[in-house]
Chains A and B, each alone.
Chain A
């Protein structure tokens, strides 16, 4: 167990954006909110999965919605606490710890904000090891822990309890339509899981991993080096291409930002053309007609000069970017997981997941 420092939060925001693979919401807002809570004298303890009691109750918590809404319609501030209290009331029991449903993007910070206000510890791990657009895509759901009963809170004070969904996709559909009605963003707290289950199903150590990645980038910035080879080395990743964005299509589909990025190689990659498809997160990377990387492996787009992540909502025509591929955690590569987070789950027909090598 250790207490998170302001420096940890700064690094976590940078690293979480990288693991966000374009989605997960803006970590900047979450960072400001975490720092605000720490400065108000509300410390947050980070505990390892192994420190959890087997019968402790752990609640995954995170924001749900479109990132472009998240940078414009900021939260009221107590959405997470309202969702948490609603669950406690429903169960008639106090919750012992919070965990991120999604380490990628702002959702790395959301449980920390709620933990600070509620005085709870945060678990070093999450349900994705990255970001994904839908809630049934957590390892918690994939390995058999239902998300319901779950609570959803908006900025107005509305709290919705989903007592039971017949399947995880049904919970996603019900929650998503509630989120759209709530105006595109809400905070969700999903069914508490026992500590013993979290130890088996959570992607371990991802808060520490994101802090480490963030520190690589921040240190490289200070030393005028490139963080890109360091990230590849630390994560067993591949540097796919340095490119300029020459085309950008996006539209909203059922509350998601869906689209496609056209890239033209620059510097050593001049002459190459590539495409990245996204649905909140980057889903596939295709070059010269061949899909080289797809979900659940991580496709990361960084500012080619600074090494900081570029999220889908701030992609712009003419930006110069580096595209990296990082292998996902083995928990996301089982047949069970690929049925939920593999290419077919995102409607990418004809694409077979070819895992990046990982030791």
Chain B
């Protein structure tokens, strides 16, 4: 089966056609403001290059950093009301207490604490108060907020009150989109609540973006299923992606790291994926992205998703060079997808990191004569800023003083010097489309999350049952049985429920049988 992997970045849209392990074609086109045009161009060009027809395509997988970029740049975020079901508990720390101030400002100060939290055994901390929720709903409606995040204490154990609150709030705010924390994450109130709020802030953007992606694929005459890549490198169908954009947060890094490992066969390396707006930095260990131990920082916010230990810095090919008050800065502001019209070498009037790379002679793109007038000292100073930021980023992801290679991937890797301090830099073939390759080699998963009674059977037998079910779900979704590995296995006993109830979560991941 022919697969197309696509990476829609802030600056470029990349597409690859793969058959088994073979890369048949790879293209890179500028991302368009409407997303669709750029996607269609990439799909058309890559099919032409591979000499395939739309009907040959069995699977399209799209990875996008759109949602992560929005958080990192604090752009396209909708004001979101936060309703924490907790009272009288959890007043000691308000929602978003550990967030950067600028991101909190983008979300707005629409925080409401109400009753409706649960004890660990599912009984209410205080009686649920429908009137209280309706009053909060009226206030949210009065403020005109169109996204609501609901986070209830112990909602992952039992989501009844979150759903009831959602229904009451929807009655007051019929136009609002509502995200429930129980659908987003696991235990750990602050982290789950933060992820829920970010999801709420991204819903508008998610609807627009996913609609554009679907439309782009359909208008190219491709009618196979369209998936998005999610955090762990597995597939998310597009309807789910519209409702849960946060589940794609780390897909970019996961895809580029899996792509980098695939291209270099390196097992121990730092991967820096330089895009147009951000660079993602992570670590390959034994050929796989190193998983974060506990919590993951997204744009300065702690979340408790299971995802690769990757961080983003606001530096890419489209980063704007700004000299203000004697301080020279490159990024985090970026011209993004407008790089090929607004950058100096492309005829524009904004000085970007790409212009600096061209002026330094590190890259041949656009018209070098348009940066010939820059003061060489100024160019060197800018380049030093870029190098310093990349070196610091590589340094931060190192976990031992032993030098390991840095694999530079992504379209912006023209910014990358040949060495970063004592670290050697590798640029694999197809480095510019590693991310799209990672999307194309996407894996599929099977997941079971259910409450079992352990009254008449052992824990081991129950876990084995759950694993067998997750495996058969993965196989049904297209996984090759031999490649399936267990990535999550957790059993949390629910005390004081009859029948020795235990919540079991098992996730398995396998390669797509193609």
A interface residues (Cβ-Cβ under 8 A, vs B):
29, 32-33, 36, 66, 68-69, 71-77, 155-157, 183-184, 224-226, 248-252, 255, 303, 305-306, 308, 310, 314, 316-319
Check B488 for interface membership: any CB of A closer than 8 A: yes
The verdict on A310 contacting B400 (CB below 8 Å), with A71-B187, A74-B93 known, is: no
Residues in B191-225 with C-beta less than 8 Å from chain A = none
Interface string of B463-506 (1 = CB under 8 A from A): 00000000000000000000000111111110100000010000
Q: Which of B92, B187, B401, B459 has the most CB of A within 10 A?
A: B92
Q: Which residues of the other chain, A, contact B490 by a CB distance below 8 angstroms? A: 248, 316-317
Chain B residue with Cβ nearest A257: B493
Query: Which B residues are within 8 Å of any A CB, using their own CB?
Result: 86, 88-93, 97-98, 117, 119-120, 125-126, 153-154, 187-190, 291, 293-294, 395, 398-401, 459, 486-493, 495, 502
A310: chain B residues at CB < 8 Å are 293-294
Q: Are B398 and A224 in contact (CB under 8 A)?
A: yes
Given contacts A76-B89, A224-B400, contact A68 B120 (CB under 8 A): yes
Tell me which residues across on chain B come within 8 A of A73, comparing CB atoms.
86, 89-90, 117, 119-120, 125, 153-154, 189
Task: Specify the chain B residue showing the minimal Cβ separation from A313.
Answer: B187
In the bound assembly, the distance between CA atoms of A313 and B89 in angstroms comes to 20
Q: Which 5 pairs show the lowest CB-CB distances between chains A and B?
A: A77-B92, A74-B90, A305-B399, A155-B89, A183-B119
Asked if B187 contacts A36 (CB within 8 A), the reply is no
Q: Which of A71, A72, A157, A308 has the most CB of B within 10 A?
A: A72
Q: List 16 A-B contacts (CB under 8 A).
A: A29-B190, A36-B93, A73-B90, A74-B90, A75-B89, A76-B88, A76-B89, A76-B90, A76-B92, A156-B126, A248-B489, A250-B491, A250-B493, A317-B488, A317-B489, A318-B291
Quick check: B92 and A183 within 8 Å, CB to CB? no
| Residues on the B chain within 8 Å of A226, using CB | 400
A69 and B120 within 8 A (CB) = yes
Cβ-defined partner of A251 (8 Å) among B91, B117, B291, B493: B493
Q: How many A-B residue pairs have CB under 8 A?
A: 103
Chain A residues contacting B489 (CB-CB under 8 Å) are 248, 317
Query: Given A29-B93, A72-B153, A183-B119, is A318 in contact with B189 using a C-beta cutoff of 8 Å?
Result: no
Find out whether the CB atom of B293 lies under 8 angstroms from the CB atom of A317: no
B98 & A184 in contact (Cβ 8 Å cutoff): no
| Measured CA separation A306–B401 after assembly (Å) | 13
User: Which residues of chain A come closer than 8 Å to B98, judged between CB atoms?
Assistant: 32
Q: Are A75 and B399 in contact (CB under 8 A)?
A: no
Please measure, in the bound complex, the distance between the C-alpha atom of A318 and the C-alpha atom of B401, giving whole angstroms: 24
B89, A74: Cβ atoms under 8 Å? yes
**A32 CB contacts on chain B under 8 angstroms:** 93, 97-98
A36-B97 CB under 8 A given contacts A66-B120, A305-B399: yes
> What residues of chain B lie closer than 8 Å to A33, measured between beta carbons?
92-93
Task: Contact check, B495 vs A75: say whether CB atoms are below 8 A apart.
Answer: no
**Is A74 within 8 A of B294, CB to CB?**
no
Determine how close the nearest CB of chain A comes to the CB of B159; give it in whole angstroms: 14
* Most chain B CB within a 10 A radius of its CB, from A74, A77, A305, A317: A74
Asked if A156 and B401 sit within 8 Å, CB to CB, the answer is no
* Chain A residues whose CB sits within 8 angstroms of the CB of B459 once the complex forms: 249, 251
Contact check, B187 vs A68: say whether CB atoms are below 8 A apart: yes
Who on chain A is nearest to B304 by CB? A314
Extra contacts, 9 of them, besides A74-B153, A155-B88, A157-B88 (Cβ < 8 A), are A32-B98, A33-B93, A73-B120, A74-B190, A75-B89, A75-B92, A76-B88, A155-B90, A224-B395
Q: How far is the CA of A155 from the CA of B88 in the complex (A)?
A: 6
Pairwise interchain contact A72-B188, C-beta atoms closer than 8 A: yes
Does A76 contact B91, Cβ atoms closer than 8 Å?
Answer: yes
Distance (Å) between the CB of B114 and the closest chain A CB? Answer: 14
Provide the residues of chain A in CB contact with B491, threshold 8 Å. 250
Given the interface contacts A183-B120, A224-B401, A226-B400, does A74 sit within 8 Å of B189 by beta carbon? yes
Alpha-carbon gap, A103 to B435, bound state (A): 46
- Closest Cβ of chain B to A242, distance in Å, is 13
Cα of A76 to Cα of B395 in the assembled complex, Å: 40
Query: Which residues of chain B are near A66, meaning CB under 8 Å?
Result: 120
A247 CB → nearest B CB, Å? 9
Find the A residue at minimum CB distance from B92.
A77
Q: How far is the CA of A252 from the CA of B119 in the complex (A)?
A: 15
CB distance from A302 to the nearest CB of B (A): 10
The answer to whether A319 touches B293, judged by C-beta atoms less than 8 angstroms apart, is yes
Residue pair A306, B189 in contact (C-beta under 8 Å) = no
